[in-house]
Amino acid sequence: MCVLYIYRVIDRMTGVVEMSLKEILEKIIAAGEPFLLSDRNNKDWAASDLLRNLSEPMLKRRAHLQPGLYIAEINDSGYLGTVLYRVKAKA
């Protein structure tokens, strides 16, 4: 299982590391992580494809990467919300 450690701003109450989806995708690309991101429709994406194809409002969403598991949206209360993408090993 691939592990990508991203630490930026940690909320002391929730322990959630908060970044924009764009920042998370850029960090994944820079680290050269060998995994795909699977959306709700089970379509697999490379981080670079998502960065290139997602709208600017989507890329600005606050999100959290749980290494090896998922990228989840951070809701207005600062807690984890909807899982946007699940981490999936490349075949």
The total number of structural domains in the chain stands at 1
Q: What is the pTM of this model?
A: 0.80
The string of pLDDT tens digits covering residues 1-16 is 343 433 343 444 445 5
The string of pLDDT tens digits covering residues 34-91 is 889 999 999 999 999 999 999 999 999 999 998 889 999 998 888 889 999 999 988 7
Residue 84 lies in a domain: yes
Q: Which domain holds residue 80?
A: 9-89
Residue 55 lies in a domain: yes
Which has the closest alpha carbon to 26: 52, 45, 1, 56?
52
Residue 2 lies in a domain: no
Biggest alpha carbon–alpha carbon distance for the chain: 38
86 dihedral zone (left: phi>0; alpha: psi -120 to 50; beta) = beta
59 dihedral zone (left: phi>0; alpha: psi -120 to 50; beta) = alpha
Residue 4 lies in a domain: no
Residue 83 lies in a domain: yes
Residue 62 lies in a domain: yes
